Amino acid sequence: MSLHAPAAPPDAARPSAPFVTAPPPVHDAWTAEDGDPHKYLIAFAVVVAALMQVIDSSIVNVALPDMMGNLGASLDEIAWVTTGYILASVIVIPLTGWLGAFFGRKRYFVGSIALFTLASLFCGEAHSLGALIFWRIVQGVGGGALMVVSQAVLLEAFPKRQAGTAMALFGLGVMVGPTIGPTLGGWLTDNYGWPWIFFINLPVGALAAFLIARYVHDPAGLKRPPSVDALGIGLLAVSVGSLQYLLEHGQREDWFDSRLITTLAVVGVVGGVLLVIRELTTRYPVIDFRVLRHRTVWVGTLLGIVMGVGLYASVFTLPVFLQGMLHMTAQQTGIVMLPGALATAVSMAVAGRLTERMDARVLVGVGAGLFALAMIQLSRITAQSGAGDFFWPLLFRGFGLGLMFVPLTTITLGALSPAELPQGAGLYNFFRQLGGSFGIAGIATLLTRYTAQFKAILAEHLVVTSPATLGRLHQLTQAMVARGADAATAQRRAYMLLDGTLGVQASVIAYGRIYVLSAVIIVALIPLLGLVGRASGGGDAAHLAME
């Protein structure tokens, strides 16, 4: 049944009446050339919604130790507060196009924000680990839609020639959010307690829901699927859930030495193959893989995966390095990373304008080059580095991210029709998220292995009988004796401190190797840009090369 009738508001769901001759809704007339007259209010609303989701993905991590103490949970148990949210949101992301058509996109968008906000309330009120995990899963179900639907709504509210501006506004929330999250989470946890990292969502969610309910409309021609692809939904949940759990916990379970991880890998791969076959052969698929027939979509999605791997490698490791190696607090880490976040905001605004005037591939290439330069600079950090040593690398990384994100999203989604846009946005975000998950899992494993490898190499060059080593051990032993330890204990502690120093130096070298690897991965984006034609947002539709 059509959700859009000629004589009804665009988001109404009622049977059409052929004898009614009322003019089409006003917004249909202006969408193509001028965009929605409330497009900047809509942009503010959807960016707030997306920012709320992005911040919540990172804000929880700094509060986990307080949750463990308050709820009496172990590290493995409290990890499900994060894992449950991620599993739920990742499963929902590729479903958003279908769910928006089934319920009506405006209704689904507002409902997702309401669900996310309500779940935030119950997360803050949770007095047991089980309740907290349950409501985090519910929160993930609501949060999975926010980023994807936000992109689709923005691209329809703005005219084609301003697609870059729309994605720049959206990117402000997506890229700046991970920087704000840990700082805000640390401040709220230290001053008000961990429940407030959830309570802060309540006014933000209410504002976003109100604005979207007031100004966003369903697109013309939106049709409700006549049937529910239950088998497709089931295969998606099983395959993606298995794969995401594998990536989240593979390192902890020692990967394929674990029977559980091996089983999940088989289930994830087989389920994924069956899902693709099912969705390509059923008449009303829950995920329309057919949008990948457009060259710009499948190439952009491939580029998004590569960018996700390289991007998350640095986003994931840098806060860990700052807090673990340099012993900075969450708030100090946020302050160090703030200039990079501001640089991202500025470069996105610039990229949004430039994308409308020049070849988007050039901007992506320049952004990849700046990002790689930043990674090479970060690879030279040491255990004695201070906050000032990170300023320029993070500034270059911030500019690079903005120049990559906006044009790449425009390249991928700019040529899709309004009917295909939600499915394309869902697949693009899903695969980029999956690339990020692969990146984090791979980087975590490589960090562990590189650290052990470099520690062994350093130990080979540490000769206990050498004067330098003996002198250092003597200094450490005397320091322990001065603190009240007996001779035997002081010597044992001296050896432990020396071993710890080796571990720190090995970790620093390992982080440096990871950043070089990130640079290589990002540079690999540049040749792939040749697979698409010239892309710019100027003029009519995005002039994106199709098949």
Residues 160 and 278 in one domain: no
* Domain final residue pick, 266, 283, 300: 283
Is 395 among the domain residues? yes
Gap between the Cα atoms of 31 and 385, Å rounded? 52
Residues 362 and 437 in one domain: yes
Residue 88 CA to chain centroid, in angstroms?
A: 14
Gap between the Cα atoms of 41 and 31, Å rounded? 15
Is 190 among the domain residues? yes
According to DSSP, the residues that pair with 223 across neighbouring strands are: 2
**Terminal-to-terminal C-alpha distance of the chain:** 32
**Are the C-beta atoms of 219 and 371 separated by less than 8 Å?**
no
Q: Is the dihedral of CA 194, 199, 200, 201 positive or negative?
A: positive
Count of structural domains within the chain? 3
DSSP letters spanning 382-428: -TT--GGGGHHHHHHHHHHHHHHHHHHHHHHHTT--TTTHHHHHHHH
Is 46 among the domain residues? yes
The residue with tokens 């201070």 is: 386
* Domain final residue pick, 260, 283, 306: 283
pLDDT for position 245:
84
Name the token pair of 90: 């990742």
The amino acid occupying position 69 is G
Residues 322 and 469 in one domain: yes
Gap between the Cα atoms of 61 and 348, Å rounded? 27
Residues 431 and 310 in one domain: yes
Residues 164 and 297 in one domain: no
Residues 222 and 254 in one domain: no
3-class SS shares of the chain: helix, strand, coil, % to 5 = 75, 0, 25
Domain that holds residue 532: 290-547
* Domain final residue pick, 240, 266, 283: 283
Gap between the Cα atoms of 465 and 350, Å rounded? 60
The amino acid occupying position 220 is A
What CATH number does residue 510 fall under?
1.20.1250.20
For residue 233, what are the CA distances in angstroms to 56, 447, 449?
A: 26, 36, 37
Is 15 among the domain residues? no
Under DSSP, is residue 381 helix (H, G, I), strand (E, B) or coil?
A: coil
pLDDT for position 369:
92
CB atoms within 10 A of CB 256: 11
The residue with tokens 């939904």 is: 233
Residues 425 and 330 in one domain: yes
Residues 138 and 255 in one domain: no
Is 349 among the domain residues? yes
For residue 37, what are the CA distances in angstroms to 28, 31, 40, 192?
A: 12, 9, 8, 41
Gap between the Cα atoms of 335 and 338, Å rounded? 5
Name the token pair of 504: 């720190």
- pLDDT by position in tens, the chain (length 547): 333 434 434 443 333 333 333 333 444 444 456 667 778 888 888 888 888 887 877 677 777 777 887 888 776 677 788 778 888 888 888 888 888 888 888 899 999 999 999 999 999 998 888 899 899 999 989 988 887 788 778 877 888 777 777 777 777 666 666 667 767 777 887 788 889 989 989 998 999 999 898 888 877 667 777 878 888 889 988 998 888 888 877 877 778 888 888 999 999 999 999 999 998 888 888 888 888 888 888 888 888 888 877 776 666 677 778 877 787 876 677 678 778 878 887 888 788 778 778 888 888 899 999 999 999 999 988 888 888 888 999 899 889 988 888 788 888 887 777 778 888 888 888 888 788 777 777 887 888 888 888 888 877 766 566 666 666 666 767 777 677 777 777 777 776 776 677 778 888 888 889 899 888 888 888 888 888 766 554 433 333 333 3
Is 434 among the domain residues? yes
Most distant CA atoms of the chain, gap in Å: 100
Residues 235 and 192 in one domain: no
User: Which of 535, 537, 543, 451 has the alpha carbon at shortest distance from 499?
Assistant: 451
Gap between the Cα atoms of 516 and 374, Å rounded? 10
Is 2 among the domain residues? no
For residue 530, what are the CA distances in angstroms to 372, 442, 535?
A: 19, 27, 11
Is 116 among the domain residues? yes
According to DSSP, the residues that pair with 2 across neighbouring strands are: 223
Residues 237 and 339 in one domain: no
Q: Is the dihedral of CA 283, 286, 292, 296 positive or negative?
A: positive
User: Which of 426, 160, 409, 174 has the alpha carbon at shortest distance from 300?
Assistant: 409
φ/ψ (deg, to 5) at 158: -100, 145
Gap between the Cα atoms of 262 and 264, Å rounded? 5
The amino acid occupying position 308 is G
Residues 131 and 278 in one domain: no
Gap between the Cα atoms of 500 and 134, Å rounded? 40
Residues 167 and 247 in one domain: no
